[in-house]
Structure 1
Amino acid sequence: MSWEKVFSCYFVTFLLWNTTITQSRSIKIAGFAGILALKSLNTGLINMAIKKTQVPPLTPNNHSANNNSPLIMIIDDSPDILKLLKDILDYHGYRVQPFTSGRAALKSMMIDVPDLILLDIKMPDMDGYEVCNHIKSKEKTGKVPVIFISGQNDTTDTVKSFNAGGVDYITKPFHLAEVLARVETHLSLRHLQKQLESQNIQLQKEIAEREKAEEELLRHKNNLEALVAQRTVELSKTNAELQQEIAERRHLEEALENANYKLHSLVYEYGLRNRRIAIFNKMSEQLQACLSREEAYPIINYFVQKLFPAKAGAIFIYDRQDNFFKTATSWKTTLLGEKKFTIEDCLSLQKKKMHISLDSQQESCCRHLCRAEGRSSICIPMLAQGDIFGILHLQKRTPSKLSRPKPLLDEASTDISIDIQHLAVTMADFFSLALVNIQLRETLKQQATRDPLTGLFNRRYMEDTMSREISRANRQGTPLGIIMLDLDHFRRFNNKFGHEAGDLALQEVGNFLQKNIRKEDIACRYGGEEFTLILPGASLEITRQRAEMLRHNVQNLKIKYKDKKLDNISFSLGVAIYPDHGQTQDAVIQAADEALYRAKHAGRKQVKLANNTKQPPGKNKSLPPPAN
Structure 2
Amino acid sequence: MTPRYTLADISVSLTVGMPAFDNGQYKPVKMIGGLLLSALLTIGLICAGGYTVHLNMRATEAERGWTDHSQLVLTNLQTQAAYLDRIDFNLQLYAITNELSHLKTALSTLSAMNVSLVQLQGMVSDNESQSRYAEQFDKDLQSLTTAVSRMDTQNRTPQAKQLLDIRNDLGILQQQERDLLRVRADLLKKGFYRNVALSAGYLSLSLLIVVVLYIFLLRDALQRGESEKELFAAKSELESTVHKLTGRAEDSIFLTHARDELQLCTAARDAHESTVRHMNQLLPGTSGATLTINNSRRMVEIAARWGDPKNLLDGFDPDSCCGLRAGKLRWRKKGRSELHCAHFTGEAPEDYLCIPLAAHGETQGFLFLSCDTPDSIALVEERQPLIQELCELASLSIAGLNLRAKLEGQSIRDGLTGLFNRHFMEIALERELHRATRYNTQLAVLMTDVDHFKQFNDTFGHEAGDIVLRAVAECYRKMVRAEDIICRYGGEEFVVIMPDVSEESAVRRAEMLREAVSGIKTQFRGEPLRSISISGGLALYPSTAEQASDLIHAADNALYRAKHAGRDQIIIANEPVETI
Distance 1:524 1:309 in 2: 50
Go from structure 1 to structure 2 and tell me whether the alpha carbon gap of 1:80 and 1:549 turns closer, same or farther (over 3 Å shift).
Answer: closer
1:578 counterpart letter in structure 2? Y
- Residues 18-70 of structure 1: CA distance to partner in whole angstroms, max 9, x if unpaired? xxxxxxxxxxxxxxxxx9xxx9xxx9xxxxxxxxxxxxxxxxxxxxxxxxxxx
Shift of 1:129: 4.4
Distance 1:360 1:128 in 2: 62
2:258 counterpart letter in structure 1? F
Q: Who is 1:450 aligned against? A: 413
Q: Who is 2:471 aligned against? A: 508
- Unaligned stretches of 5+ in structure 2? 1-18, 27-59, 69-78, 88-103, 144-161, 213-218
Answer yes or no: is the 8 Å Cα contact 1:576–1:610 preserved in 2.
Answer: yes
1:441 has 2:404 as partner: yes
**Residue from 256, 274, 284 that aligns with 1:278:** 256
Distance 2:262 2:190 in 1: 22
Q: Who is 1:339 aligned against? A: 314
Answer yes or no: is the 8 Å Cα contact 1:377–1:395 preserved in 2.
Answer: yes
1:552 counterpart letter in structure 2? E
Distance 2:497 2:177 in 1: 53
Distance 1:362 1:371 in 2: 17
Q: Which moved more, 1:523-532 or 1:599-608?
A: 599-608
**Residue from 463, 488, 500 that aligns with 1:525:** 488
Which has the bigger relative contact order, CA under 8 A and spacing at least 6? Answer: 1
Q: Which moved more, 1:569-578 or 1:292-301?
A: 292-301
Q: Who is 1:154 aligned against? A: none
Go from structure 1 to structure 2 and tell me whether the alpha carbon gap of 1:530 and 1:84 turns closer, same or farther (over 3 Å shift).
Answer: same
Distance 2:326 2:493 in 1: 52
1:569 has 2:532 as partner: yes
Answer yes or no: is the 8 Å Cα contact 1:365–1:371 preserved in 2.
Answer: no
1:271 counterpart letter in structure 2? A
Distance 1:394 1:532 in 2: 49
Go from structure 1 to structure 2 and tell me whether the alpha carbon gap of 1:521 and 1:98 turns closer, same or farther (over 3 Å shift).
Answer: closer
1:299 has 2:299 as partner: no
Distance 1:83 1:581 in 2: 46
Answer yes or no: is the 8 Å Cα contact 1:520–1:536 preserved in 2.
Answer: yes
Shift of 1:309: 3.8
- Residues 475-527 of structure 1: CA distance to partner in whole angstroms, max 9, x if unpaired? 22222221111122323443333333222212221111112111111111112
1:258 has 2:220 as partner: no
1:285 counterpart letter in structure 2? Q
Go from structure 1 to structure 2 and tell me whether the alpha carbon gap of 1:101 and 1:128 turns closer, same or farther (over 3 Å shift).
Answer: farther
Go from structure 1 to structure 2 and tell me whether the alpha carbon gap of 1:123 and 1:434 turns closer, same or farther (over 3 Å shift).
Answer: farther
TM-score with structure 1 length normalisation?
A: 0.61
**Residue from 229, 238, 246 that aligns with 1:268:** 246
1:210 has 2:200 as partner: yes
1:607 counterpart letter in structure 2? I
Report matched runs for 1:225-236 at 5 Å.
none
Shift of 1:449: 0.8
Q: Who is 1:379 aligned against? A: 354
Q: Which moved more, 1:353-362 or 1:462-471?
A: 353-362
1:611 has 2:562 as partner: no
Go from structure 1 to structure 2 and tell me whether the alpha carbon gap of 1:366 and 1:122 turns closer, same or farther (over 3 Å shift).
Answer: same
SS at match of 1:454: coil
TM-score with structure 2 length normalisation?
A: 0.66
Shift of 1:466: 0.7
Q: Who is 1:363 aligned against? A: 338
Shift of 1:250: 8.8
Report matched runs for 1:87-98 at 5 Å.
none
Answer yes or no: is the 8 Å Cα contact 1:449–1:461 preserved in 2.
Answer: yes
Distance 1:107 1:386 in 2: 34
Go from structure 1 to structure 2 and tell me whether the alpha carbon gap of 1:203 and 1:394 turns closer, same or farther (over 3 Å shift).
Answer: farther
Shift of 1:142: 5.0
Distance 1:526 1:82 in 2: 29
Go from structure 1 to structure 2 and tell me whether the alpha carbon gap of 1:5 and 1:274 turns closer, same or farther (over 3 Å shift).
Answer: farther
2:330 counterpart letter in structure 1? H
Answer yes or no: is the 8 Å Cα contact 1:359–1:398 preserved in 2.
Answer: no
CA RMSD of aligned residues (A): 4.7
Go from structure 1 to structure 2 and tell me whether the alpha carbon gap of 1:500 and 1:82 turns closer, same or farther (over 3 Å shift).
Answer: closer
Shift of 1:300: 2.8
Report matched runs for 1:122-521 at 5 Å.
124=143, 127-131=166-170, 133-134=172-173, 137-138=176-177, 204-214=194-204, 255=233, 258-259=236-237, 261-287=239-265, 290=266, 292-319=267-294, 321=296, 323-358=298-333, 363-369=338-344, 376-399=351-374, 415-521=378-484
Shift of 1:396: 2.4
Go from structure 1 to structure 2 and tell me whether the alpha carbon gap of 1:81 and 1:209 turns closer, same or farther (over 3 Å shift).
Answer: same
- Residues 419-459 of structure 1: CA distance to partner in whole angstroms, max 9, x if unpaired? 52212222333322222222221221122111122221111
Distance 1:133 1:308 in 2: 47
Go from structure 1 to structure 2 and tell me whether the alpha carbon gap of 1:84 and 1:470 turns closer, same or farther (over 3 Å shift).
Answer: closer
Answer yes or no: is the 8 Å Cα contact 1:396–1:415 preserved in 2.
Answer: no
Distance 1:329 1:592 in 2: 47
Distance 1:439 1:207 in 2: 45
Shift of 1:84: 6.5
Answer yes or no: is the 8 Å Cα contact 1:555–1:569 preserved in 2.
Answer: yes
SS at match of 1:390: strand
Q: Who is 1:152 aligned against? A: none
- Residues 171-212 of structure 1: CA distance to partner in whole angstroms, max 9, x if unpaired? xxxxxxxxxxxxxxxxxxxxxx99xx9999667524312124
Answer yes or no: is the 8 Å Cα contact 1:135–1:142 preserved in 2.
Answer: no
- Residues 249-284 of structure 1: CA distance to partner in whole angstroms, max 9, x if unpaired? 997896576346414413421431232133223223
- The percent identity for this pair of structures is 27
Shift of 1:463: 0.5
1:534 counterpart letter in structure 2? I
SS at match of 1:314: strand
Report matched runs for 1:32-181 at 5 Å.
81=108, 85=112, 108=125, 110=127, 124=143, 127-131=166-170, 133-134=172-173, 137-138=176-177
Answer yes or no: is the 8 Å Cα contact 2:445–2:498 preserved in 1.
Answer: yes
Q: Who is 1:403 aligned against? A: none
SS at match of 2:494: strand
2:323 counterpart letter in structure 1? S
- Unaligned stretches of 5+ in structure 1? 7-34, 44-71, 87-95, 144-192, 224-240, 401-412, 619-628
2:358 counterpart letter in structure 1? L
Q: What is the number of residues matched between the two proteins?
A: 456
1:211 counterpart letter in structure 2? G
SS at match of 1:603: coil
Shift of 1:296: 3.2
Shift of 1:122: 5.2
2:530 counterpart letter in structure 1? D
